[in-house]
Amino acid sequence: MNLALWLARASRDFAERDALFHGTKSVASYAVLGRLVAQTATWLSERGIRVGERVAIFMPNRPDYLPLLYAVWYLGGVVVPVNAKLHPKEAAWVFENSGAKLAFVMADFNKALENELNSKSVIELVPLNSNSLLEFSVDCIPMAPVERNNDDLAWLFYTSGTTGRPKGVMITHGMLSAMALNYFVDVDAVYKDDVTIYAAPMSHGAGIYNLMHVLRGAGHVYPLSGGFDPSEIFTLAAHFGSAHMFLTPTMIKRMSQIASKREDKPKGFRTIVYGGGPMYVADIIEAVDIFGDVFVQIYGQGECPMAISVLSRKDVSDRSHIRWKDRLVSVGKAQSIVQVQIVDEAGTALPFGSDGEIMVRGSAVMPGYWNNPEATKTTITNNWLITGDIGAIDKDGYLTLRDRSKDLIISGGSNIYPREIEEVLLMCPGVEEASIVGKPHPEWGEEVVAFVVPKAGYEIRKEELDALCEHNIARFKRPKHYVCLNELPKNSYGKVLKAGLRKLI
Ligand code: AMP
């Protein structure tokens, strides 16, 4: 089924409801959104876009985003959302790799992109100005969504590329509908008076999460800043009164820091789903103390978007269970639409509690990478997705992620998981951020190097960090070197670039 039908039905069933907001101002009802989408689909098809062809969207979160996404789906096309923070050179690479025929871009970027595109490139760039809402399609006759099957492509999701070039994950209509429907089963409810605030990039999880809000006829709020500005988010949540958001752990940490300096308590947050990177225990405890029981954690990856496991609202906030802290470290239990197992290097399933590679299969798992059969072959085996993450499942079904397998450090034959050491260093009151990498060592294979970012006004002493590690972790895991940095290198989604850190040692 074509996912665009959900929007077509929403525009009929919730016609009068406000669908899109720019800041606090309503800019389209569901009826208007439906018409915009259906006319823009016609405009695209008059422009020569056919079923199965790719259309890129390279812009910050703004009200045009959703209409464009659905317009492409209406005519059976495939969207290629590109993170707005990418350099025009990187965006041009994604356009060409995806074979996109057309790309919607912000007018200010048009020139820079033209300069970066290969001279043989046939892509058409469509520049949009900042108050667009797609006026170019007003004279087009609205069309109805074309038929699509569950295994037809809907979205090419370019991985965040913490190592090497990003790969295009093929996301189908069936994967997205399974993920969205399962959200109601495992993650949260959505009510008609809710709004979702697009603070994290829509080219990633926040955009994928639009579906449940369309299904329920809820509002879609685009911050005027076009992204993540904590003060603006506080104002928007208080204004709307029942806000939903998807945020990364680093964004939540920033929200807590700002909230703790404000006089008024945060208001209007109903659900904040977090994921996309490790949430350190001290940070989520602080966030729950400040915001209350609004958090749900998900674990996913582009290859199985938002749908590997979930740590429920209760597990995140209820401190009465004897193992509540262990559960808080975990990423929760497998979502209902997937099967998760832990295997050793030979691919043999491991018993409860053993660390190994996390494998996933089920209806949210990708069929493969775009035009990259070699990468597909090494990532999918017998319908199982090899996640590249290491973890263990306890007897109650809770999955704990240790680290990315390529970040694992092996010293003197023993496995060391960076995350475990990072958690300890973050216990130091002067440490803002910490990241651990392995440095080649002639005798031990690798040794542990810690990168730390001090909090403003603090000076971190090596002895203080050594003492913390001595009290909390085995000797062989303790960092041999500490390097102080002003900030950690991160990619455009805020993930720490360990490859960048390794170059510094
Ligand atoms: P991406 O494909 O860019 O979404 O990145 C996916 C990767 O982010 C996963 O393979 C994990 O390594 C990491 N990740 C996603 N969700 C979580 C989470 N809840 N906790 C820790 N790491 C996560």
As given in the structure block, the two tokens for residue 309 are: 């496991």
Probe ligand 1: pick from 299, 329, 357, 365, max atoms within 8 Å of CB? 299
As given in the structure block, the two tokens for residue 62 are: 């703004």
Domain boundaries along the sequence of the chain: 409-502
133-146: pLDDT as tens digits: 898 999 999 999 99
Does ligand 1 lie within 6 Å of residue 281's CB atom?
A: no
Q: Centre a 10 Å sphere on the Cβ of residue 279 and count the other Cβ atoms it contains.
A: 23
Supply the pLDDT for residue 86: 86
In the predicted model, what is the mean pLDDT of residues 323-347? 95
Write the residue with the smallest CA distance to atom 10 of ligand 1: 301
As given in the structure block, the two tokens for residue 5 are: 């039908």
Report the amino acid identity of residue 380: I
- Considering only CA atoms, which of 443, 373, 378, 442 is closest in space to residue 406? 378
383-426: pLDDT as tens digits: 999 999 999 999 999 999 998 888 889 888 788 989 989 999 99
223-274: pLDDT as tens digits: 999 989 999 999 999 999 999 999 999 899 999 999 999 888 899 999 999 9
> Each residue of 392-404: b (16+ CB within 10 Å) or e?
bbeeeebbbbbbb
Q: Is 130 helix (H, G, I), strand (E, B) or coil?
A: coil
Look up the pTM and report it. Answer: 0.90
Supply the pLDDT for residue 183: 98
Contact criterion met (CB below 8 Å) for 247 and 275: no
Does ligand 1 lie within 6 Å of residue 301's CB atom?
A: yes
Q: Centre a 10 Å sphere on the Cβ of residue 115 and count the other Cβ atoms it contains.
A: 10
In the predicted model, what is the mean pLDDT of residues 367-385? 96
202-229: pLDDT as tens digits: 999 999 999 999 999 999 999 999 989 9
The Å distance, Cα 256 to ligand 1 centre, comes to 21
Q: What's the alpha-carbon Rg for the chain, to the nearest Å?
A: 23
Supply the pLDDT for residue 161: 60
User: Given the structure tokens 């470290």, which residue do they identify?
Assistant: 329
Superfamily covering domain 409-502 = ANL, C-terminal domain (3.30.300.30)
Atom of ligand 1 at shortest range from CA of 401: 21
Least confident of 3-7, 18-22, 408-412: 408-412
What secondary structure does DSSP assign to 313-342, as a single string? HHHHH---STTHHHHHHS--EE-TTEEEEE
Contact criterion met (CB below 8 Å) for 385 and 303: yes
Does ligand 1 lie within 6 Å of residue 172's CB atom?
A: no
Q: Residue 415: enclosing H or E segment and its boundaries?
A: strand 414-416
Contact criterion met (CB below 8 Å) for 91 and 58: yes
Does ligand 1 lie within 6 Å of residue 297's CB atom?
A: yes
Please provide the distance, in angstroms rounded to a whole number, between the alpha carbons at the two ends of the chain.
51
As given in the structure block, the two tokens for residue 72 are: 């492409």
Q: Centre a 10 Å sphere on the Cβ of residue 137 and count the other Cβ atoms it contains.
A: 21
